[in-house]
Structure 1
Amino acid sequence: MAADDTAPARAWRVVLERIEGDLLDGRLAPGDRLPPERELAATLGVGRSSVREALRVLEVMGLIRTGTGSGPTSGAIIIATPRGGLAALLRLQVAAQGFPLSDVVATRLLLEQWVVGTLAESGAHDLSDVRATLAAMDDTTLTAEEFLALDAQLHLGLAEASGNAVVAASMAGLRTAIESYVQAGAARIPDWDAAATGLRAEHRGILQAIDAGEADLARSLVHDHITGYYAAAGLTRD
């Protein structure tokens, strides 16, 4: 009875493992179409329902796109844009409180210090969206919630400008957690207006260091920016 109960769960994993192996071995590549459900089921010795379950997982992960009907857009096609899937999986883990706050902050430090350092060293980047977000944050009528939503967008914009899709996807996936803890922390800051003024200045300092190609300074400033807010908001490590 126990073996029968676990068989369906194992079956769809067989499909995932086969597709993963084909990708790693080069038998499948972005743009290729997966075999039809019936063929996959017969080849792997699993039911079509297990194949469909595996395809749903792959679609959520951003590794395939499925189309109905017949013709060139039908069936399951390997795509080369897994970023959305990675971000979605991270958001789900965050929503389920699977990551301690201290781990989120530590990961931010790792990612964002790399981001600003890389931007400063490369000199080839487009920060127009980041500058537009920073300009929007100058509006003194913004509520703390509105300001911090823009703050999260600014940091995500820097990650996207770095050109590293994995880093950008990671930051996108952590954005909900970042916004959540900075919003909660704002309520603990006695003088929000002064804090917002300080955050604007810190953002500008980080951008100036990037523009000047001063990678070490940019990394130091973004470290102090993140940990400074963490401390000012009275957030405790869990």
Structure 2
Amino acid sequence: MRNHELVLSWIEVELAAGRLAVGQRLPGERAVAEQLNVSRASAREGIRVLEAMGVVRAGVGSGPGSGTVITANPAVAIGAALRFHVASSHLPVEDIVQTRLLLETWAVGQARATAPSMAVAADLLEKMDHPGLAAGEFLRLDALFHVALAEAAGNVLIGAMMSSLRGSIESYTLELTSRLPDWNRTAERLRSEHRAIFQAIAAGNDDAEPAGDARSPGPDASTLIADHIAGFYREAGL
């Protein structure tokens, strides 16, 4: 085992044992190095790997925000890995879209109307209604909306995976808008579908009807979101 891996293993053991917890600060590099009998460079490398994994956040300076704090944000590591593999063409975008369909149809089917993230989703709907919204900003809000709906299912891992999947194809999705015959018309349809999905969850996923007639009717939020996702990519020629 390489020296920096000793640091990762030590943090894992301390977290599992409850001796470290989210919100706590790690000991300084020198203390970690001395405790594990490794160099400060190895301790620093291990902490940087943890930061890239979303396990810690390294602060600078000497104020309240200084030091390395345990944050536990799994979406950071998953998202970074997915972006690299998509960029290298190791992960076909089509496979990611299919995975999105699997995750999102399950998530909205389990989503609770009273979940805190539903209020976030409602606010995002209003923001997407702003006139003159650029395609890039619309898609950013769209991604946050879908993540908020997934988080309403109450499954932390599903929420993290959704955030990572959306982030990994953000630039690709924006590129797809150039293939659309009429972005403004597409955006209007997406807004209508978003509201239908939201209303289906708010109503308990029972017998929801879509807003408008641009898409085939679906009986519940799961069907609505499957049609919504597939429809966008189909219109863009994927």
TM-score by length of 2: 0.76
Asked if 2 retains the 8 angstrom alpha-carbon contact of 1:160 and 1:168, the reply is: yes
Unaligned 5+ runs, structure 2: 207-218
**Aligned amino acid, residue 230 of structure 1:** Y
1:94 aligns with 2:83: yes
2:232 aligns with: 229
Gap change, CA 1:135 and 1:41, over 3 Å in 2: closer
The equivalent of 2:115 in structure 1 is 125
Match of 1:150 among 141, 153, 177: 141
Segments of structure 1 that go 5 or more residues without pairing to the other structure are 1-6
- Specify which structure has the bigger relative contact order, considering alpha-carbon pairs within 8 angstroms and separated by 6 or more residues: 1
Of residues 156, 165, 189 in structure 2, which corresponds to 1:165? 156
* Bigger helix fraction: 1
What count of residue pairs does the alignment treat as equivalent?
Answer: 222
* Residue identity in the other structure for 1:91: A
Q: Measured at CA, do residues 179 and 52 of structure 1 come closer, stay the same or move farther in structure 2, by a change above 3 Å?
A: closer
For residue 187 of structure 1, give the secondary structure of its aligned residue in structure 2. helix
Q: Superposed, which structure 2 residues align to 1:12-23 within 5 Å?
A: 12-23=4-15
- The letter for the 1-side match of 2:83 is V
Residue matched to 2:204: 213
Q: Per-residue displacement from partner, 1:110-153 (whole Å, max 9, x unpaired)?
A: 3222321122xx33224233223223333453343343233223
- 2:72 aligned partner: 82
> Larger Rg: 1 or 2?
1
Judge conservation of contact 2:59–2:65 (CA < 8 Å) in 1.
Answer: yes
Q: Which residue in 2 is equivalent to 1:104?
A: 96
- Cα deviation, 1:32-81, whole Å, max 9, x if unaligned, reads 5545544443443322211121122223333234567889987545x3x3
- The 3-state SS of whatever aligns with 1:46 is coil
**Distance change (3 Å), C-alpha of 1:47 and 1:66:** same
Q: What amino acid maps onto 1:128 in structure 2?
A: A
Q: What is the TM-score with the length of structure 1 in the denominator?
A: 0.76
Matched residues in 2 for 1:123 and 1:170: separation?
A: 21
C-alpha distance in 1 between matches for 2:4 and 2:137: 43
Q: Following superposition of structure 1 onto structure 2, how do residues 192-211 of structure 1 map, counting pairs within 5 Å?
A: 192-211=183-202
Corresponding position: 1:48 with 2:40: yes
